[in-house]
Structure 1
């Protein structure tokens, strides 16, 4: 249950401004699964002489830091009525590992940190935010961006949260429109190569990015179109280029919801060589067996047309990764649920963990490994 905390009159006296129309919402998610993975390397693979070198490993049983169906988080949302339909708004949201209590990003508010304005014409916000491709596809992914197991990073890119971002989001009935521009994304690496920081003096394009989305979500049918572009930069003044566009549809009848989508991607180094070019497809079905129990089955597939391990590395022809995911989720109440989730990935680690996504999901495959299986049971509480 989210709690509304009205600003205290004492703060009004201290600040010299009346805050009677202000409120702050405290919210969060606690999600703790126990997971089994049949075979994975102990650490991030490295590139040596244009070849991927992995560490030894084996089976793993753990409480994942990342969470299960949702990433553990807490946050604050604030709103102040400015009159004439205009309001000032802010969001501060941080992620942490429920297994240790440690921040998952090294940032106090690494998930979101923004301030802006809301009006009948939409929201305009500034700060670290989700990109338009994330917003546009959020109602069209089979498991709603579940940490275990959906290839979110492969689908959206490692830049789906962007620093230094201006974003517009407007909701008009069943239609939603979004657009954003980032002066410096702040993503950490492309493949195994660290990126330079954003907002580079004298090099305006370094790590900049922008995108747009439009989505329709009706009672039965839904559809979305998205575009995303950014300029990952290893050496200041020499940006690469990543472009993604895609579309998705959904159909719901009674307790059954079907989703399907496609995403095109090309990421190039600053010398023009392609880092990865792929077509990504997904489809899924969710069936509400009873009001408290939902079942989800999803399939993901990437057709990798071209890939490299580095800007001057030879062209590779990797096998195309695919994954099947199943979730059984039972609601104990409106805020608490228990779940079982399982997945099998082929030609990559779970969640398509591989060099094109900088091994960002932590399911490091071993040399010569073809498949990886994971299973988790967990409990989730939302407040």
Structure 2
């Protein structure tokens, strides 16, 4: 009889624990027909994915542990709608894989996650605010496109103090005998008060793979073909403000690359506006100026997003870039290198979130 009562009690406790938990499945799919007027001297028409928002599927959950304490987790994988392939064949949950605790003390999170520059400052960039992947800066050195998450990381985020939240993050390099090898550090502050948002963020990545930035530096004859940076340091600050149906954003980022034989500095400025001129339509306008040593890039963009429902949108967008100074070839994010100092890309597509 005691055994029966124990089983019943244990079952009841388990059911109660599950009742305090919740799991959310979410995701985004985006595809559009894009035309780029010049890639290596030739035009190309293609089906692009993740232009308005990155394609992804994720699982997010919390468990109420009582007295204000919660356990949290997130698993998020990126993929390509046009091919169905993972954006990183070596990692199932390549965008996020975290577990942590939150409460009155703030939140502690452990695992694989984006850095604080992306989390705080990236949301004020033209690429994010104006929903156009091509508007992220040449080479994506500041990782605003969320393509370089921190592995083996621990993050602390404070409670909100009258709208001010602060975060610090440390990614272990996990190399025996050298604590700095592969180490990542990030910190930032985010202030939100009514229609105003202000951010300040910092990140330093040691031994980061160059990735797409290697192609960008190669178009300038810089980097000597480096595939790994000794370090990459990013400082970002920005502001956002909403006035009625108009949302304004401004962002400045500075990136310093340390290479075996040299160092390079890139500076970027974003200015953008989104106007919801009626409940279903948003008109987005943006300007970006980027400078890397003597190379300069100026970009303008325009798009219109039409909401068919709360979850489904269709869009038309265009971006034009002109290179100057020591930059002889335009190169917008992920378009491919132009054979001239100018390049434009247009996309008509559809986005659905779930």
TM-score range, shorter chain: 0.7 to 0.9
Query: Quick one: distance in 2 between partners of 1:60 and 1:183?
Result: 42
- Alignment match, 1:54: none
- The answer as to whether partners of 1:210 and 1:228 remain within 8 angstroms in 2 is yes
- CA separation in 1, counterparts of 2:169 and 2:67? 25
Q: Structure 1 240/154 Cα, relative in aligned 2: closer, same or farther at 3 Å?
A: closer
In 1, Cα distance between equivalents of 2:119 and 2:68: 24
Q: Which residue of 2 aligns with 1:67?
A: 50
Instruction: Select the structure that is richer in helix.
Output: 2
Q: Secondary structure at the match of 1:243?
A: strand
Give the structure 1 partner of residue 143 of structure 2.
Answer: 156
Greater mean deviation of Cα atoms: 238-247 or 214-223: 238-247
Superposition pairs for residues 31-110 of structure 1, below 5 Å? 31-41=30-40, 58-64=42-48, 66-106=49-89, 107-110=91-94
Distance 2:308 2:193 in 1: 28
Aligned to 2:204: 229
What is the root-mean-square deviation of aligned Cα atoms in Å? 2.4
Q: Deviations over 1:114-136 (max 9, x none)?
A: 11111133221111101011111
Cα 1:134/1:303, change in 2 over 3 Å: same
Aligned equivalent of 2:189: 214
1:322-341 matches, within 5 Å, as 322-341=298-317
Alignment match, 1:204: 179
How far 1:349 moved relative to its partner? 4.6
The Cα shift of 1:242 comes to 2.0
Aligned residue-pair number: 314
Alignment of 1:257-336 (within 5 A): 257-271=247-261, 273-274=262-263, 276-305=264-293, 317=294, 319-336=295-312
The CA deviation string for residues 222-261 of structure 1, in whole angstroms up to 9 with x for no partner, is 2111111121268xxx982222212112222111122212
1:365 aligns with 2:337: yes
In 2, the alpha carbon distance for the partners of 1:204 and 1:69 equals 39
Partner residue of 1:190?
none
Name the SS of the counterpart of 1:19 in structure 2. helix
Cα shift at 1:73: 0.7
8 Å contact from structure 2 (residues 127, 136) kept in 1:
no
Summarize the Cα distance change of 1:240–1:364 in structure 2 as closer, same or farther, 3 Å threshold. Answer: same
Please, which moves more after superposition, 241-250 or 145-154? 145-154
Shift of 1:101: 1.0
In the other structure, the counterpart of 1:133 is 117
Residue ranges of structure 2 left out of the alignment (5+ in a row): 1-9, 210-227, 324-328
- C-alpha distance in 2 between matches for 1:110 and 1:126: 15
The one-character-per-residue Cα deviations of 1:169-190 (angstroms, maximum 9, x if unpaired) are: 3452532222111113xxxxxx
